[in-house]
Amino acid sequence: MADAEQDRHLRLTGEFDCEPTPLDTMRHSTSHVMAQAVKRLFPAVKVAIGPAIEDGFYYDFAKAEPFAPEDLARIEAVMREIVSADLPFERTEMPRADAIRFFRERGEPYKAEILEGIDAERVSLYRQGDFVDLCRGPHLGSTGQIKAFKLLSTSGAYWRGDEKNPMLWRIYGTAWLSQEDLDRHLWRLEEAKKRDHRKLGRELDLFDFYDVSPGAAFWLPHGMILVRELEKFAREELDAHDYQEISTPLLVNKRLWEQSGHWEYYSDNMFKVEVEEEIFSLKPMNCPESTYVYRRALRSYRDLPLRLSEMGRCHRNERSGTLTGLVRVRQFTQDDAHIYCRPDQLLEEITALLGLVRGWYATFDLKPSFKLSTRPEKSLGTQEQWDQAEAALYEALAANALDYKLNPGDGAFYGPKIDIDVEDVLGRPWQIATIQVDLTMLPERFQLEYIDSDGQPKRPVAIHRVIFGSYERFIGILTEHFAGAFPTWLAPVQARVLPISEKHSVYARTVHERLRAARLRAELDDRNEKLGYRIRDAQLRKVPYMLVVGEREAQGGTVSLRHRTGEDLGAQPLERVVADLSREIAARSVTLTVGRS
């Protein structure tokens, strides 16, 4: 995204440098003010470009040394002076040749270079006080209209994004229409940092990464519980929806990828292995192999739909520089499925699938949004096939009463699709799921057939779909969404038993055993530490429930129940706690309910 923004500003294409909306105009204007402040403090600095971006703006500067963190505060202070001075943004136009001369004379080679690269007779300049920038605009009336901003960080950035070019120093800032919006944004950034799944993964012993296998997680026992619970959830749901699970090989001869077409355009992303003088690859996707399962029997129209699910472990050769925790990996496990159906079954299948998707995300309190992408210019298949498939997607969305965004012409060459983003608790969108109708790729390339009611062989339609996306990415998202405080059914440890002192350890052991007998993931913390310390430790580990036991509890067969939030729910009969806990877990409740009745 940053590259596209950079391009837009560099080429000065389009009508404006920034969207002519109040927020983008204000952000772009703030970037000019930042450049002005930087020039005041560091007169030798050369200015490059400064577009508005999502949530803020940046500006790139040529400077011998990087900016120090304390520079940002100084720059911000000068910016505030410029804002108080309420300098008008004045637009002027001049012939391009004059503008090149103008910026040369001011010692701004980057501006001159941008001008030399564009095809325009006249260009516009914006001035506020002593600062002049090449810009299409639009801008605010004056610097005094800037409401609420903050400089966030600085990093290196190559001129025009090309590593052969000089390294510039970029300062990122954020700007909003009100102080309240700014505060909320800063809180979100702070919260996102605290929730970073890479940090929490290590602190909560969920997973780790080692340089012997970049982009592939080592799952630790507690993280493996998340994987297993999600797999169990998925399997139960899929069984209930008449899916059949398969598992196909990881290492596959390249002949398969030649037939599927992946070898042609995707082989750079595949890990290759030579075996007995033949080239194999680790599968980057599960699709083509599922066709072997389809083709091993003669299928009749009555056998369809055939819903083949697979927890497919895939490998993709992502560049090491792009790998990020669990959300950008080389090895991942998709909750994949391929549904083979008759064209007339599409509507029903997609409708059911959307219902399934909604239920899944509701389980995790994630808000989905839907994007429908239709036939692109270059595509395979007949108009009739496309019309039918697109109609099925439209109608299925309507049948589920779902709002969606339409992306005309954005479908795959082999069929239309619905992409699904989820929004987490911080309001951040994550693209995770996709439902793709495949009219031609698998059906034609692998010559899939079924015998129709008229006795004639016909091509089925394939639907590719994932709901979690990959277990890795989904667990990364869930970790941030819940800040590591997972619902009880997912929590690696569901309850901790804490005897008040050593004297109560016999009863504590009885309680622990009772929980274990009910198949709860319970721990006994009878370490020789103060109770307060052990309570805090359980809270830090995000254990949902603490069962504190002492003399009174031992006498009455009760436990003193505490939530990890710090809430103390007082003494409760042990048997009721066990029953309520089991019920909460079985219901896969997203909130803690035990002890609240």
Q: Which positions are annotated as active-site residues?
A: 287, 316, 334, 336, 338, 417, 464
Which range of residues in 180-188, 287-295, 358-366, 424-432 is near Zn ion by CB under 5 A? 287-295
Nearer to Zn ion, 52 or 396 (CB): 52
Query: Crossing angle of helices 505-517/574-586, nearest 10°?
Result: 30
> What does the alpha-carbon distance between residue 462 and residue 122 come to, in Å, rounded to a whole number?
54
Phi, psi dihedral angles at 164 (to 5 degrees): -80, -15
Instruction: Give per-residue burial for 243-282: e unless 16+ CB within 10 Å, then b.
Output: beebebebebebebbeebebbeebbeebbeeeeeeeebbb
Which range of residues in 12-20, 152-160, 273-281, 552-560 is near Zn ion by CB under 5 A? 12-20
* Residue 465 touching Zn ion (CB under 5 A): no
Least gap, CB of 325 to Zn ion (angstroms): 25
Can you tell me whether residue 323 is helix, strand or coil? coil
Contact with Zn ion (CB under 5 A): which of 112, 114, 135, 493? 135
Q: Which two tokens stand for residue 513?
A: 């055993």
- Report DSSP letters for 339-367, one per residue: EEE-GGGHHHHHHHHHHHHHHHHHHTT-E
Strands 450-451 and 457-458 turn out to be: antiparallel
Nearer to Zn ion, 252 or 592 (CB): 252
CA distances from 3 to 28, 54, 169, 306, 582 (A): 16, 12, 16, 43, 51
Which range of residues in 14-22, 174-182, 265-273, 419-427 is near Zn ion by CB under 5 A? 14-22
> What does the alpha-carbon distance between residue 489 and residue 504 come to, in Å, rounded to a whole number?
28
Which range of residues in 10-18, 300-308, 478-486, 517-525 is near Zn ion by CB under 5 A? 10-18
Nearer to Zn ion, 287 or 535 (CB): 287
CB 118 within 8 A of CB 11: yes
* Residue 27 touching Zn ion (CB under 5 A): no
Strands 404-407 and 367-373 turn out to be: parallel
Least gap, CB of 394 to Zn ion (angstroms): 22
Nearer to Zn ion, 17 or 525 (CB): 17
Least gap, CB of 414 to Zn ion (angstroms): 11
Question: How many binding residues for Zn ion (CB under 5 A)?
Answer: 4
* Residue 329 touching Zn ion (CB under 5 A): no
Start-to-end C-alpha separation, the chain: 49
* Residue 562 touching Zn ion (CB under 5 A): no
Least gap, CB of 57 to Zn ion (angstroms): 10
Give the number of residues written for the chain: 597
| 139 CB-side CA count, 13 A | 28
Least gap, CB of 542 to Zn ion (angstroms): 35
| 49 CB-side CA count, 13 A | 27
Nearer to Zn ion, 138 or 544 (CB): 138
* Residue 435 touching Zn ion (CB under 5 A): no
Contact with Zn ion (CB under 5 A): which of 217, 238, 287, 491? 287
* Residue 34 touching Zn ion (CB under 5 A): no
Least gap, CB of 285 to Zn ion (angstroms): 6
Nearer to Zn ion, 186 or 250 (CB): 250
* DSSP conformational letter for 338: E
Contact with Zn ion (CB under 5 A): which of 315, 464, 473, 542? 464
Nearer to Zn ion, 135 or 175 (CB): 135
Residues forming contacts to Zn ion in the complex (CB under 5 A) are 17, 135, 287, 464
